[in-house]
Amino acid sequence: MSEHLWRVLSLQDHNTRVVIFGTAILGFAAGLVGCLTLLRRRALVGDALAHAALPGIAGAFLVATALGYDGKSLPLLLAGATVSGLFGIVSILLIRRMTRIKEDAALGIVLSVFFGLGVAMLGIVTQMNRGNAAGLESFIYGKTATMTESDARLIATASALCVLVCIALLKELKLLCFDEAFAGARGYPVVLLDIVLMSVVVVVTIVGLQAVGLVLVIALLVIPAASARFWTDRLVVMMVIASLLGMTGSFVGAAVSAMLPRLPSGAMIVLAAGLGFLVSFLIGTQRGVLVRFWRRRQLNESIDHQHLLRELYEIFEHDPDRVSVPYEELLERRSWSRKRLRRMLEQASRNGWITENVSKMEFALTDRGETEAKRLTRRHRLWELYLIRYADIAPQRVDRDADAIEHVLEPEIVAELETLLDKELGKTRMPDDPHAGGVGS
Partner 1 sequence: MMGFDWNWQLDGWIVAAGMLCAVASSLLGCFLLLRRMSLLGDAISHAVLPGLAGAFLISGSRSSVWMFVGAVIVGVLTALLSDFIHHRGQVDEGASMGVVFTTLFASGLLMIVVAADRVDLDPGCVLYGAIEQTPLDKWEVPGLPFAVPRVVVVLSIVTLVNALFVGLFFKELKISTFDAALATASGFSANLIHYVLMTLVAITAVACFESVGNILVVAMLIVPPATAYLLTNRLRTMVILSCLIAAVSAWGGHVMAIVVPSWFGFRSTTTAGMMSVATGVAFMVAFLFAPQQGFLPRWVRQQWLRWTILADDVLTLLYRIEESAREVGGHPATAPGSAFAVTAAPLAQTVPWVAETLLTNRLAVKWAMRYLTWRGRVRPVSAKDGGADSGPAEGGGEARLPVLTEVGRREAETIVRSHRLWEQYLVTKVDVAEERLHAKADRLEHFTDREMQDQLDEQTDSPSIDPHGRPIPNPDQP
Partner 2 sequence: MDPIALSVDDLTVAYHRKPVIWDVEFDIPQGKLVGIVGPNGAGKSTLLKAIMDLIPRASGRVEVFGKPYHQSLHRVGYVPQRESVDWDFPVDALDVVTMGLYRRVGWCLPIRKKHRDAAREALARVGIADLAHRQISQLSGGQQQRTFLARALVQDADLYLMDEPLAAVDAATEAAIVELLKQMQADGKTAVVIHHDLQSVPDYFDHVVLLNMRVVATGRTQDVFTNENLQKTYGGRLTLLDEATEAMRRRERGI
The least distance separating partner 2 from the CB of residue 301, rounded to whole angstroms, comes to 10
| Contact pattern for partner 2 over residues 377 through 406, marking x by CB under 8 A | -------x--xxxxxxxxxx-xxxx-----
Map the footprint of partner 2 across residues 156-175, applying CB under 8 A.
Answer: none
User: Which range in 116-124, 151-159, 355-363, 433-441 contacts partner 2 by CB under 8 A?
Assistant: 433-441
Specify whether the backbone of 438 is left (phi greater than 0), alpha (psi in -120 to 50) or beta. Answer: left
Q: Answer yes or no whether residue 330 interacts with partner 1 by CB under 8 A.
A: no
The least distance separating partner 2 from the CB of residue 195, rounded to whole angstroms, comes to 25
Q: Answer yes or no whether residue 109 interacts with partner 1 by CB under 8 A.
A: yes
Q: Which of partner 1, partner 2, none sits in contact with 11, Cβ below 5 to 8 A by type?
A: none
Q: Answer yes or no whether residue 179 interacts with partner 2 by CB under 8 A.
A: no
**Strand residues in 265-339 grouped as ranges (E):** 325-326
C-beta separation of 28 from 75 below 8 A: no
| Contact pattern for partner 1 over residues 44 through 63, marking x by CB under 8 A | x-xx----------------
C-beta separation of 193 from 172 below 8 A: yes
CA torsion 48→54→56→59, rounded to 10°? -150
Q: Classify residue 188 by burial, with Cβ atoms within 10 Å: 0-12, 13-18, 19+.
A: middle
C-beta separation of 273 from 224 below 8 A: yes
Q: C-alpha 355: how far from its chain's center?
A: 46
Q: Answer yes or no whether residue 43 interacts with partner 1 by CB under 8 A.
A: yes
The least distance separating partner 2 from the CB of residue 112, rounded to whole angstroms, comes to 22
Task: Give CA–CA dist 24/224, Å, rounded.
Answer: 12
DSSP string spanning 173-209?
HHHHHH-HHHHHHTT--HHHHHHHHHHHHHHHHHHHH
Q: Which of partner 1, partner 2, none sits in contact with 398, Cβ below 5 to 8 A by type?
A: partner 2
Q: Which of partner 1, partner 2, none sits in contact with 399, Cβ below 5 to 8 A by type?
A: partner 2
Task: Give CA–CA dist 18/145, Å, rounded.
Answer: 9
Q: C-alpha 26: how far from its chain's center?
A: 20
Structural element, H or E, at residue 358: none
Among 78, 177, 207, 222, binds partner 1 (CB under 8 A): 222
Q: Which of partner 1, partner 2, none sits in contact with 105, Cβ below 5 to 8 A by type?
A: partner 1
Among 87, 188, 281, 390, binds partner 1 (CB under 8 A): 281
Q: Answer yes or no whether residue 274 interacts with partner 1 by CB under 8 A.
A: yes
φ and ψ at residue 438, rounded to 5 degrees = 65, 60
Among 167, 168, 299, 361, binds partner 2 (CB under 8 A): 299
Q: Which of partner 1, partner 2, none sits in contact with 204, Cβ below 5 to 8 A by type?
A: none
Closer by beta carbon to partner 2, 139 or else 386: 386
In one-letter notation, the amino acid at residue 41 is R
Task: Give CA–CA dist 25/244, Å, rounded.
Answer: 10
Q: Which chain residues interact with partner 2 by CB under 8 A?
A: 100, 295, 299-300, 303-304, 307, 334-336, 384, 387-396, 398-401, 435, 439-441
Q: Which residues bind partner 1 (CB under 8 A)?
A: 38, 41-44, 46-47, 95, 98-105, 107-109, 111-124, 127, 137, 140-141, 215-216, 218-219, 221-223, 225-226, 229-230, 262-264, 266-271, 273-274, 277, 281, 287, 289
